[in-house]
Amino acid sequence: MARGAGAEQYSNASMLKKTEPNEVRTGHKSEVNRHLSVCSKLCYAVGGAPYQITGCALGFFLQIYLLDVALLDPFYASVILFVGRAWDAITDPTVGFLVSRTPWTRFGRMMPWIILSTPFAVISYFLIWYVPPVDQAKVVWYLIFYCLFQSLQTCFHVPYSALTMFISAEQKERDSATAYRMTVEVLGTVIGTGIQGQIVGMANTPCIPVGNDLNSTFRNSGSEVNISQPDLSLDKIRNAYMIASGVICAIYILCAIILFCGVKERKETSKVQSKHMSFFRGIRLVMGHGPYAKLVMGFLFTSLAFMLLEGNFALFCSYTLGFRDDFQNVLLVVMLSATLTIPFWQWFLTRFGKKTAVYVGTTIVIPFLITVVLLKSNLIVTYVIAIASGVSIAAAFLLPWSMLPDVVDDFKVLNPESQGHEAIFYSFYVFFTKFASGVSLGISTLSLDFAGYVTRGCTQPKAVDVTLKVLVSAAPVALIIIGLLIFTSYPINEERRQGNRKLLNEQRELELAADSSETELVNVL
């Protein structure tokens, strides 16, 4: 019997040797030490663009679109923004758990989620920017398709984020790929801002004068137009939003194809198998890891600060600063500045450490956020502040995704018996930031309603100006300070990070040695 089993093992080993000769001869060494090519890193990075392109377009323009183009009451707009983000947040840990339980396929474990969700996400995104002909159905329409798109994009982005752990086993390679990804993602925000802003900017939203002269004229880009014909211009702006969404959908599909064709998902080589556990037990295990909880909470507040700024900046530029015709250009400068400074922050974190990069990167923007509300409106000053904001946003983009793999590695070292939870780590980070974003957008839109926001108004009441100043200056500054205070207790410094790397490499070498011994034994038998 033992002889027969040995013969069977030898037969299986021979079959593996014929089909995958390099894998058997070298064990998993080629996979562990494999360096990613520039082409692979670029293809991987391109996959992050759809999330940022659509997210930027929605973040900067959805609020003003619902208020001034779809003509929704601010209360209903706040309900849509809050419920959509809250629903999106709930789906993140759910999808993360399902991804972690997904069996390996010929395309990998993450890729099937990415590819299958893409066509449906594109359709739902396009329908968000369509105004239904029945006014009574508008709220339900936007609520359904906004929630649907958020769910489908979660099915794309959670597996894509976790894919960081499966493109290479080396920390340096993952950090390098993350830097590529962040550069492309911030470039994606430029593309999203540029496409949405420039196409929509060519068809300015008609505004209605506020005051006693409502029956005479209304201003549109400084010219006087007959107020009895506003719907013609409104149709033009609605068509512009749909054209912009169509272009973004085409880019979304192209990026998904490049990711699928250009990136090979590396199968986990560890022989330690994760035990299937319940959803809530997985949550307790992940959230009970102290460094992860502190990292998530710190970035929760700093990300929330930038989300408040993003969600209200278009309204702030249009009404408080009076740059109704230039706000899309200001947003474009912000994103261009962020794109160009990503390589600088990648160099900075490798030279001075990731915690130092967090402190420096997120505090740069504080004096400029204070300046923008204290100084008198000036377009040149606004552009300078936009550049400084972009520098800080670049750090906020790069650092969370660069530090999350370090936390996952730390968890693996402390919990060697519990593997395969990478998707849960990434999904919960996204969950907390999205939920907080939903709360912030809902509260900010509701605050504008209480302040007396006038839909399509050429000017706004004084209370609206004060509210917008709080939403883009005082509140973000306070949130950034809270986030930095939390980061003071984050325990993974460079010494601990390098120690974890050494321990994990030793573990892989032991597994490689065990594989070699097993192969030799099979050959002897």
Kindly indicate the confidence band of residue 431, based on its pLDDT and cuts at 50, 70 and 90: confident
Q: What is the mean pLDDT of residues 306-328?
A: 78
Q: The CATH number of the domain where 259 resides is what?
A: 1.20.1250.20
pLDDT(347) > 50: yes
The predicted-structure confidence for 383-409, as pLDDT tens digits, reads as follows: 888 888 888 888 887 888 788 888 888
Same domain for 94 and 56, yes or no, is yes
Same-domain check for residues 255 and 291: no
Residue 409 lies in a domain: yes
364 and 258 housed in the same domain: no
Q: Does 412 map to a domain?
A: yes
pLDDT higher than 70, residue 254: yes
Average pLDDT, the chain: 77
Give burial (CB, 10 Å; 0-12/13-18/19+) of 104.
Answer: exposed
Same structural domain for residues 250 and 311?
no
In this predicted structure, the answer to whether residue 212 has a pLDDT above a threshold of 60 is: no
**Do residues 226 and 206 lie in contact, with contact meaning Cβ atoms separated by under 8 Å?**
no
Q: Looking at the structure, do residues 306 and 251 belong to the same domain, yes or no?
A: no
286/258 same-domain check: no
pLDDT in tens, 93-130: 788 778 877 777 788 788 889 999 999 999 999 999 99
Mean pLDDT across 489-517: 76
Q: Are residues 339 and 250 in the same domain?
A: no
Enumerate residues 6+ apart whose C-beta is below 8 A from 254.
Answer: none
Same domain, 238 and 306: no
Q: What is the mean pLDDT of residues 228-257?
A: 83
Instruction: Please report whether residue 186 resides in a domain.
Output: yes
Q: Which helix (H) or strand (E) holds 218?
A: strand 217-220
The pair of three-digit structure tokens given for residue 337, joined into one six-digit string = 């500045």
Tens-digit pLDDT profile for residues 357-375: 999 998 998 988 888 888 7
Q: Are residues 315 and 456 in the same domain?
A: yes
- Would you say residue 517 lies in a domain? no
pLDDT score of 63: 81
- Whether 337 and 256 share a structural domain: no
The per-residue pLDDT for 524 is 60
Per-residue model confidence (pLDDT) at position 215: 42
> Do residues 119 and 59 lie in contact, with contact meaning Cβ atoms separated by under 8 Å?
no
Q: How does DSSP assign 331-385, residue by residue? A: HHHHHHHHHHHHHHHHHHHHHH-HHHHHHHHHHTTHHHHHHHHHSPP-HHHHHHH
Is the pLDDT reported for residue 28 higher than 50? no
pLDDT band at 272; cut points 50, 70, 90: very low
Among the ranges given (248-257, 263-272, 347-356, 420-429), the one the predictor scored with the smallest mean pLDDT: 263-272
How does pLDDT run across 154-191, given as a tens digit for each residue? 899 888 888 877 777 777 787 788 778 877 887 887 78
pLDDT bracket for residue 307 (50, 70, 90): confident
Place 30 in a pLDDT band, splitting at 50, 70 and 90: very low
Position 428 in a domain = yes
- Tokens standing for residue 341: 């400074």
Give mean pLDDT, residues 298-320: 82
| 7 falls within a domain | no
Residue 55 sits in the same domain as residue 201: yes
Q: How confident is the model at residue 202 (pLDDT cuts 50, 70, 90)?
A: low
Q: Closest by alpha carbon to 304, among 471, 75, 74, 58?
A: 471
Phi then psi for residue 248, to 5 deg, are -65, -40
d(CA 56, CA 192): 6
Q: How confident is the model at residue 26 (pLDDT cuts 50, 70, 90)?
A: very low
For the chain, the domain total comes to 2
- For residue 407, being part of any structural domain is answered with yes
Residue of 515 and 332 predicted with greater confidence: 332
What the block records as the tokens of 300 is 């929760």
Assigned token pair, 146: 């906004």
Same domain, 257 and 143: yes
Domain of residue 126: give its range. 37-207+234-264
Percent of the chain surpassing pLDDT 70: 79
Pairwise CA distance, residues 266 & 277, whole Å? 24
Q: What is the pLDDT of residue 185?
A: 81
Contact assessment for residue 317 and residue 326, using Cβ atoms and an 8 Å cutoff: yes
**98 occurs within a structural domain:** yes
